[in-house]
Amino acid sequence: MVTEQAIWDALRKVEDPEVHRSIVDLGMVKRVDVKEDHVMVEVLLTVSGCPLRNKIDQDVRAALASVPGVGSYDVILSTMSDEERRQFAAKVRTGQADPLQIAGQPEVPPLLRPDTKTVFIAVASGKGGVGKSTVTANLAVALSRLGYRVGVIDADIYGFSIPSIFQLGDRKPALVDNLLMPVQQDGVKIMSMGFFVPDNSPVVWRGPMLGKMLRNFFAEAYWGELDVMLLDLPPGTGDVALDVHTLLPKSKEVIVTTPQANAAEVAARAGTMAIKTNHEILGVIENMSYFEINGEKHYIFGKGGGERLARELRTDLLGEIPLGVATASGSGIFPSGSPQAWIFQSIAETIAKKAGLPAISWNKA
């Protein structure tokens, strides 16, 4: 005979895909009814258009099917009331606030606390057009494929492109009682200014507003536990780059360039800024290095810019990314098994070791 307790125990193993905590502990299971071998479960979603509703529905159904004696079941997905959302947000925040908050001072976001275990890696370039955002996105996916918990902040406030590279379409962060849930794609949690700008409108802001938005990405979003956070910086050495260096004094840095001499020369300025602010440079990634056809490499944009930049900055050349179309659908993420994905995985492994990320038993993509 099926017991109600057995159903609750099974549902406790189901996690919310965004928060990665039990739906039972988060109060998302509103009721469980058991009549002989038939079970009815009602699960509360934070918003009616929850993009992960199918995932939650599938996981709940799989959990019910695993309970011995269950012959049939119904799963009802409802939407939380305002009060239920407040309770959900309070449970999500449990253990996240800084207990050392000083009276009269703003609360320190968990990611920015001195004892955070998250490794921050800023991805910088000297100029635009070198594919820095594409490198950031693919590096994030490569780290996720290795098994790391990865977040990306699109800090290029004026030239945000991370949402389009991941092909997120109209997806937006869910807002639960003033708590933003980063959009998840390819195992990566993502926040970008692009989520909040209607119709691709230009952003006309000055330095202080840029810094405020960057801080909001840390303070008002629920990131959970992350191993690594990548920050896609705007090109150059402007306000946002300065804010990142000030806000994240322990941030490490990766410099992106292309093979051209002038691109490497300009990128050296971003590297020099990192050095002067005592940020460790993990290495240089050369993007658009060559085009390969029939086993022959064609160096369309010249050769050696990445090597020269790495020597000048006294760091390593982490890898050379060949030109190529990621997918026919327009996504900027190279599919697992492609030549570019193999190179990004090698780069990710090197960065993980140099950045001191925890060792993981890696599976080749």
The mean pLDDT of 335-341, rounded to a whole number, is 91
Binned at pLDDT 50, 70 and 90, residue 98 comes out as very low
Q: Given a cut of 80, is residue 199 above it in pLDDT?
A: no
Distances (CA, A) of 328 to 138, 195, 274, 337, 342: 16, 24, 37, 15, 19
- Give 268 or 28, the one with higher predicted confidence: 28
Q: What local confidence, expressed as pLDDT, does residue 136 receive? A: 96
User: Can you say how many angstroms the Cα of residue 129 is from the centroid of all Cα atoms in its chain?
Assistant: 22
Binned at pLDDT 50, 70 and 90, residue 61 comes out as very high
What mean pLDDT is reported for the chain? Answer: 82
**CATH numbers and ranges of domains, the chain:** 4-93 (3.30.300.130), 110-355 (3.40.50.300)
327 C-beta neighbours (distance < 10 Å), count: 12
User: Running DSSP on this structure, what letter comes out for residue 15?
Assistant: B
Q: What local confidence, expressed as pLDDT, does residue 236 receive? A: 62
Q: What local confidence, expressed as pLDDT, does residue 62 receive? A: 94
pTM of the model: 0.76
Q: Beta strands 296-298 and 291-293: pairing type?
A: antiparallel
Q: Give per-residue pLDDT as tens, 140-186.
A: 999 999 999 999 998 877 778 899 999 988 888 877 777 788 899 99
Q: What local confidence, expressed as pLDDT, does residue 97 receive? A: 36
Q: Give per-residue pLDDT as tens, 236-259.
A: 655 556 666 677 768 899 999 999
Q: What percentage of the chain has pLDDT greater than the value 90?
A: 41
Q: What percentage of the chain has pLDDT greater than the value 70?
A: 85
